[in-house]
């Protein structure tokens, strides 16, 4: 409370929770590890958004000198600590065994010590460790011997390990041991996929592995299909779910990942793709007798679409459970805005690892009611807490009187060139050093910073594999020119007028409409317009606009991956294309600063500093916290003639299509910075409606996130 009162955000607070040694001969110390796990769990449940850390190696101090025990203890303890919510740990990452590679008996003995399950746990652990020898050669031999397993075990092993090299041989052998192809799917294949789903949900397996397993499953089913059709077999699913990215939204990576995870858990998935109208979602769910509907969205207008879908389900008297997911969604918004308009179960699913657990509870007659009731109680509590704690808004008039004080003596020079330009870049190799791999891994569900993530004791091994696959594909993408870059950008005379920035182009003035914070705890309430000199200033000021897009070449590589059923390569290609678009935006901004506008000609930044944005000026995009309203993209597109010159367009909800692409603004003043506009009051919404010449109701809809 003290920290938040002085303006420190909860997400910037890290609690370093004490970890003390266990199994040190003092019985009263044996519960220390358990108490740490409880403490971390309490912090995550009661102090939302804060982070936790701990000095892991303290735990095993009693076993100093016995590295075998210490290293295994650290790995097992980290596994349980991460499950409890631990965000970061201090440990020698280079000396950690992979959790799954620790022999099961050894792991159980360690867990007896860590979880304080028996009084003689420490003695039993030491006795076992003394018998351990280096068995790396034996392990390698064991891994190579899996081909001698019985057929069913080989098939399950292939799925869990994502190995498709022997499928033709093994599927052919199935015809001698199984009565039909469906028996193979519902037997060894589903056993393998169930193990994959369980391990992923428990944090013992990671997304790239899951996608590879799903690829092997699809290959196996494809090989079995002719046999299934001959015997007229029909697979029995755990349930049927309709998935869709809502109308106006074209992002599908997260939805596609959920499709893979659900397939791994034996759900029949009807994927309606992107930009799906509400009518199509509901009609498909009714016609297909779906057990649940899953809605996905990335941009803020998608939240309104999700509310509309829920309200339409309610209007029609349906009771199909509704799952909500996507980057822009949250448990709080789901509780306040979506669950409140639909009587049937509505559940926010934070990430793909949760979806199978949620569905299994919702579709099981024994658990459905209790699960739905618990979710409903939780959402009612969340809504109540939000309304109780919500910070009162400063009036719009008062906020306007406390705008950010711009230092006019620091207004940048006039750009060397004014106007609009369009460029095409076929050689994308220069973009590679500026790829932000932290966000690349985040899109795959990995937590942590690059490059430290590659040495993470839990995630490092799979992160390294994914990184190597990414490097290989990037090499092909650039050398074989799978994609090209397209850019439109412009620099203009500009001045601010309250919350608008007026730019001059082709002898006309266009007002770019921004918003002002009404919840700031500082001495001022900023708007992006504050970073441009006003009309009556003694100096002339300027502003920039840009749109960049990564476009597939005529080779249409993504279609090839899709036709081949190669979800892993397709997802990897899409995620890397997103990263290339962001890297191109970063490189273009650097070029603008140092060449075209030339206000930072002496700038010499390392790739790391560039990614950390240690340069003068900012590059916000509509949808950012400092300019959360998306409809202003239309003005950027019209001024730059992006649709005509880049071959891209805006959907009705202002998503740029096709992906991947980015558009935004260039502010050059050294005091320009990012901030969160936060909640908007009706007084500012009314002013915004007047400035944009739209109705108050339409403005409220556009500002729905605020």
Q: Which residues are catalytically annotated?
A: 249, 251, 302
**Integer Cα distance of 672 and 120 in angstroms:** 62
What are the residues whose beta carbons fall under 8 Å from the beta carbon of 633, sequence distance 6 or more? Answer: 622, 650, 654, 656, 663
DSSP letter assigned to residue 139: H
**Integer Cα distance of 207 and 37 in angstroms:** 25
Sequence length of the chain is 706
**Integer Cα distance of 242 and 282 in angstroms:** 9
Determine how β-strand 88-90 pairs with β-strand 649-650: unpaired
**23 near 62, Cβ under 8 Å?**
yes
Quick one: which of 275, 270, 274 has its CA closest to 286?
270
591 to 530, 598, 603, 604: CA distances (angstroms) = 24, 8, 10, 12
Question: What are the φ/ψ torsions at residue 415 (nearest 5 degrees)?
Answer: -60, 150
- Give kind and range of the element (H or E) at residue 208: helix 207-231
**235 near 282, Cβ under 8 Å?**
no
Name the residue with tokens 């494809």: 222
Q: Return the half-sphere exposure (C-beta side, CA atoms, 13 A cut-off) of residue 369.
A: 2
Question: What are the φ/ψ torsions at residue 123 (nearest 5 degrees)?
Answer: -60, -45
Angle at 278 between CA 276 and CA 279, to 5 degrees: 105
| Helical ranges in 47-66 per DSSP H | none
**102 near 108, Cβ under 8 Å?**
no
Peptide bond into 301 cis (omega under 30): no
Q: Is 419 exposed, middle or buried (0-12, 13-18, 19+ CB in 10 A)?
A: exposed
Angle at 454 between CA 452 and CA 455, to 5 degrees: 75
| SS3 of residue 505 by DSSP | strand
């Amino acid at each position: 409370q003290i920290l938040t009162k002085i303006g420190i955000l909860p997400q910037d607070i890290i609690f370093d929770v004490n970890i003390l040694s266990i199994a040190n001969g003092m019985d009263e110390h044996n519960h220390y590890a358990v108490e740490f796990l409880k403490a971390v769990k309490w912090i995550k449940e009661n102090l939302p958004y804060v982070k936790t850390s701990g000095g892991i190696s303290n735990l095993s101090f009693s076993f100093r000198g016995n590295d075998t025990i210490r290293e295994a203890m650290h790995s097992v303890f980290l596994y349980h600590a991460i499950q409890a919510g631990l965000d970061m740990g201090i440990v020698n990452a280079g000396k950690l065994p992979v959790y799954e590679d620790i022999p099961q008996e050894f792991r159980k003995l360690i867990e007896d010590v860590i979880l304080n399950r028996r009084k003689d746990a420490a003695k039993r652990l030491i006795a076992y460790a003394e018998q351990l020898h280096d068995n790396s050669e034996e392990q390698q031999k064991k891994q190579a011997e899996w081909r001698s397993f019985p057929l069913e075990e080989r098939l399950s092993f292939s799925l869990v390990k994502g190995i498709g090299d022997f499928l033709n041989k093994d599927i052919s052998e199935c015809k001698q041991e199984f009565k039909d192809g469906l028996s193979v799917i519902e037997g060894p294949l589903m056993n393998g996929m169930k193990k994959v789903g369980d391990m992923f949900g428990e944090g013992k397996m990671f997304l790239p592995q899951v996608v590879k397993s799903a690829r092997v499953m699809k290959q196996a089913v494809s090989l079995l299909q002719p046999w299934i059709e001959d015997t007229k077999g029909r697979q029995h699913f755990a349930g049927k779910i309709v998935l869709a990215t809502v109308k106006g939204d074209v992002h599908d990576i997260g939805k596609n990942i959920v499709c893979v995870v659900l397939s791994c858990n034996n759900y029949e998935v009807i994927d309606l793709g992107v930009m799906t109208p509400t009518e199509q979602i509901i009609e498909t769910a009714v016609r297909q007798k779906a057990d649940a509907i899953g809605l996905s969205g990335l941009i803020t207008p998608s939240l309104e679409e999700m509310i509309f879908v829920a309200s339409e389900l309610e209007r029609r008297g349906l009771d199909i459970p509704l799952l909500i997911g996507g980057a822009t969604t949250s448990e709080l918004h789901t509780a306040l805005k979506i669950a409140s308009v639909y009587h049937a179960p509505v559940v926010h699913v934070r990430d793909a690892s949760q979806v199978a657990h949620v569905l299994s509870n919702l579709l099981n007659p024994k658990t459905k009611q209790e699960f739905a009731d618990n979710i409903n109680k939780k959402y009612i509590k969340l809504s109540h807490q939000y309304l109780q704690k919500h910070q009162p808004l400063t009036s719009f008039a008062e906020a306007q009187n406390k705008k950010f004080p711009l230092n006019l003596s620091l207004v940048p020079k006039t750009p060397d060139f004014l106007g609009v330009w369009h460029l095409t870049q076929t050689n994308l190799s220069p973009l590679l050093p500026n790829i932000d791999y932290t966000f690349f891994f985040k899109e795959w569900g990995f937590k942590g910073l690059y490059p430290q993530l590659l040495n993470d004791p839990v995630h490092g091994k799979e992160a390294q594999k994914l990184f190597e696959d990414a490097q290989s594909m990037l090499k092909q993408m650039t050398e074989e020119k799978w994609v090209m870059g397209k850019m439109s950008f412009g620099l203009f005379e500009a001045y601010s007028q309250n919350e608008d920035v007026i730019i001059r182009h082709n002898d006309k003035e266009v007002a770019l409409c921004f918003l002002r914070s009404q919840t700031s705890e500082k001495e001022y309430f900023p708007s992006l317009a504050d970073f441009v000199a006003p009309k009556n200033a003694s100096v002339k000021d300027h502003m920039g606009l840009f749109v960049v897009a990564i476009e597939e070449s005529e080779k249409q590589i993504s279609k090839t991956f899709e036709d081949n059923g190669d979800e892993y390569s397709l997802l990897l290609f899409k995620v890397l294309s997103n990263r290339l678009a962001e890297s191109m935006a970063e490189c273009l901004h650097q070029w603008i600063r140092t060449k075209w506008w030339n206000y930072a000609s002496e700038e010499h930044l390392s790739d790391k500093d560039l990614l950390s944005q240690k340069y003068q000026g900012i590059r916000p995009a509509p949808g950012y916290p400092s300019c959360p309203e998306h409809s202003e993209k239309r003005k950027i597109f019209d001024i730059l003639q992006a649709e005509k010159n880049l071959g891209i367009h805006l959907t009705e909800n202002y998503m740029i299509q096709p992906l991947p692409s980015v558009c935004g603004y260039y502010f050059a003043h050294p005091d320009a910075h990012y901030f969160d506009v936060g909640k908007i009051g009706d007084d500012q919404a009314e002013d915004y409606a007047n400035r944009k010449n739209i109705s108050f109701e339409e403005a409220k809809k556009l500002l729905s996130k605020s």
